[in-house]
Amino acid sequence: METVLIHNISDYLDKEVKLRGWVRNVRSSGKLIFIIIRDGSGELQAIAFKPDLNEETFNKAKSLTLESSLEITGIPKKHPKKQDVFELAVTDIKIIQIAAEYPISKKEHGTDFLLTHRHLWLRSSKQWALMRIRHTVYYAICDFLNNNGFYRFDSPILTPNACEGTTTLFEVPYFDEGTAYLSQSGQLYLENGIMSLGRVYDFGPVFRAEKSKSRKHLTEFWMMDAEAAFVEHNESMQIQEELIRFVLRKVIKDNLADLNILERDVELLRKADAPFKVITHKQAIDLLRDKGINIGYEDDFGAEEETMLTRDLDVPLFIEKWPKSIKAFYMKRDPKDRNLVLGSDLMAPRGFGELIGGSQREDDYHLLKQRMIDEKLPMAQYQWYLDLRLYGSVPHSGFGIGLERLIGWLSGVKHIRETIPFPRMIYRIYP
Amino acid sequence: METVLIHNISDYLDKEVKLRGWVRNVRSSGKLIFIIIRDGSGELQAIAFKPDLNEETFNKAKSLTLESSLEITGIPKKHPKKQDVFELAVTDIKIIQIAAEYPISKKEHGTDFLLTHRHLWLRSSKQWALMRIRHTVYYAICDFLNNNGFYRFDSPILTPNACEGTTTLFEVPYFDEGTAYLSQSGQLYLENGIMSLGRVYDFGPVFRAEKSKSRKHLTEFWMMDAEAAFVEHNESMQIQEELIRFVLRKVIKDNLADLNILERDVELLRKADAPFKVITHKQAIDLLRDKGINIGYEDDFGAEEETMLTRDLDVPLFIEKWPKSIKAFYMKRDPKDRNLVLGSDLMAPRGFGELIGGSQREDDYHLLKQRMIDEKLPMAQYQWYLDLRLYGSVPHSGFGIGLERLIGWLSGVKHIRETIPFPRMIYRIYP
């Protein structure tokens, strides 16, 4: 007899098979015991019918508790009414372990309780669906990049300097070398990688010691940074749009059942699969001022403004050409307006917030050096980065995607702490 | 005119195309200037022939220095003598930047010099080849696991406790929560993931604050940990063997040119694609004692003993069933011998050292708890891990692969610091 996975069960109709897994739920009704089994690949209702079983087997079925582990033998049948749903007519049960009383029940639990029991909470349907979507999104991003000539190029976590400013760095005592800092972005390293490999990306954990408790902040999260030689601002935005579209289609194709478990409005996702909208930062400010917001042409957007700009949109929105004063030192100046940089932020529709930040990079040694001096960066530690502009500098662009925020938009969950197996926040480092 | 990548050049024979890249080398001989161009995808000799060019273009070719960046237009031709080699008959040149005098030359450089100039060293042929192999190995591991029902499940880097002992941990001050530690392995978290997803793996950076300067040690390296429910010791070794074989074949197929750049003996790699050898720890000790080594039955192997066991082998070697006293607390006891655990180490042939460590895990709550008490672990911090044995415990096994060591074996490089873009060692955190 074959041991099979639930997601393959339709291949074994009317043949006796063995499943291995855990009890999601159990209820009895006279001569019938209904056992919901999950095995990591899916879930299925098994029915133990007393007249078909010996007494010992039926008693085993009766003794099952939530999350007990077992091997269950039976015959897969089509559900009498529901299409594409299958049931198992139980023929035998082998109990592996009767679980102790399970702490997570159907009643509402507080956030703190669930986070403290994250190791168990992950078994619930919605968390399981989110982890499956995470898997798809991760590899959809990798596949797109691999298909477009990018090489994986892992940037280091322990770094001697900071990319995004020094107030939110985690510090690590490092032997006799003093202090290392946990990476906030691999970008500077990737700009190096393109000089060897042409197009590169990394995709790993990054860290922000931010004392923010918003639903969009984690202290440890996963980031994909991509960088490409000979790619300029407009082509970079085009690559970003194609990448997001590729991921969107892949998730709708592979994870429709998971999106349904999460009650995501899939029609809204499908509507996002159309040409993205592009406006300049100045146009965005004008739109907000028309709506009565008091905001200046050199201001950044807060969460409220971001929501106003995208809440009525069906498609993602690029905001490009930002004032130099509010963007990072490495962004290339717009040759048409010295006060602007060739950077863009991509915002998800319907107020879900930022998905991507990107820019063309300054490739002129002297302009970049002056920007760094103006920003009072420790120049000795950045000499290697400046070197890249001395030895065969080329026009190049790159962008970064926060994995959890992208999953947040696709899945529709409100708090990104649910999109990562073990979230780390300012008051949360266990388990 | 099309802009093309060098690795596609054979599709454009006798059609004028544009390439963009850097000058690997340049030499002139009378009316001929030979320019080796690299563009990340490959390298190619371009030939500027004075009679075919206007004076300005020929002078541009003459002015090129090592690592200068350029666009070069020309007509791809077959090499007159060498098969599968192509050349470019130059028709035009656009210089992007004449590089400053390049610090890395053909002469031998010391290790410290090369590591300080890692951002430039990565452009050299061998380093470029190693990064391409790294890309292949990373995704070959992922593909194998994805094809075998494993979900990616990213374990956290910032952790409240240690998996492999507490003497080699990097510490990170963490807000009001005290100290966090950089992860040494995601295994304990993965054991949790299987209870939701059945089979899981992570693949990210891990950290060891080891004061070792051996050629096999990095303080930051990439590790894949896999874990599978309902998989026992022997099946786990079978999965490991299939995985290594899958990666080996993929690298030989996709990276033969890179292996040749590295002067790897590919025939030796091909010989490793045969059934792996399996011996017990006791048999390994007997072999060593037969060779005159003074070693006891509860001893671990040093580098010298590892080399003796594998230097004459063509295939990888599993050493299984280790004494409990020298292996981690979480390994399952061998039911046939209470002093042994169901663990295995996989050693590369020809003295290349360990590739994989794995074991079946202890799934009995009371036995595991006693082992943890015996090892004086802080029990409160591990309660979540013990919980997994209370709520539907199942037999399960897992294993871990150090990415850099695997690349070391496949590529044949002596020091694994060359297998990662920016190696971190006890005296090295820059650039």
List pLDDT tens digits, range A228-264: 999 999 999 999 999 999 999 999 999 999 999 999 9
What mean pLDDT comes out for the span A104-119?
Answer: 92
Amino acid B378: pLDDT: 87
Q: Determine contact, residues B7/B254, Cβ cutoff 8 Å.
A: no
In which residue are the tokens 């995208």 written?
A310
Cβ within 8 Å, pair B123-A196: yes
Nearest CA to CA, how far is B97 from chain A (Å)? 5
| Chain A CB contacts of B69 below 8 Å | 392-394
Who's near B38: CB < 8 A, 6+ residues apart?
B6, B21, B22, B24, B44, B123, B128
Amino acid A11: pLDDT: 97
- Least trusted range by pLDDT, from A105-114, A268-277, B194-203, B304-313: A105-114
In which residue are the tokens 């979230």 written?
A423
Amino acid B90: pLDDT: 98
Short-list A141, A73, A67, A140, CA closest to A104: A67
| Chain A CB contacts of B120 below 8 Å | 195, 387, 391
Cβ within 8 Å, pair A152-B159: no
The residue among A37, A71, A132, A195 with the most chain B CBs within 10 A of its CB, best to mutate, is: A195
**Residues, chain A, total?**
431
162-221 of A, contacting B, C-beta below 8 A: 170-177, 180, 182, 189, 192-199, 204-205, 207, 209, 211, 219-220
B190 vs B215, higher pLDDT: B190
ipTM over cut 0.90: yes
B145 vs A107, higher pLDDT: B145
Amino acid A38: pLDDT: 98
118-147 of B, contacting A, C-beta below 8 A: 119-120, 122-123, 127-128, 131-132, 134-135, 138-139, 142, 146
What is the token pair recorded at A11? 């291949």
Short-list A227, A207, A230, A211, CA closest to A219: A207
Short-list B360, B171, B348, CA closest to B245: B348
Cβ within 8 Å, pair A40-B158: no
Using the predicted structure, report yes or no on whether residue A162 has a pLDDT greater than 70.
no
Q: Determine contact, residues A398/A226, Cβ cutoff 8 Å.
A: yes
Gap between the Cα atoms of A263 and B10, Å rounded: 51
* CB-nearest partner of B393 from A69, A131, A146: A69
Using the predicted structure, report yes or no on whether residue B160 has a pLDDT greater than 70.
yes
- B57-92 pLDDT, tens per residue? 999 999 999 999 999 999 999 999 999 999 999 999
Q: Which residues pair with A11 in a beta bridge?
A: none
Amino acid A161: pLDDT: 72
What is the token pair recorded at A395? 């026009």
A36 interface with B at CB cutoff 8 Å: no
Gap between the Cα atoms of A379 and A381, Å rounded: 5
- Percentage of residues in chain B with pLDDT exceeding 70? 99
Cβ within 8 Å, pair A172-B172: yes
Cβ within 8 Å, pair B149-A5: yes
CB-neighbour burial class of residue B254 (10 A; exposed 0-12, middle 13-18, buried 19+): middle
Short-list A303, A307, A308, CA closest to A288: A308
Amino acid B162: pLDDT: 57
Nearest CA in chain B to A231: B20
Gap between the Cα atoms of B431 and B429, Å rounded: 6
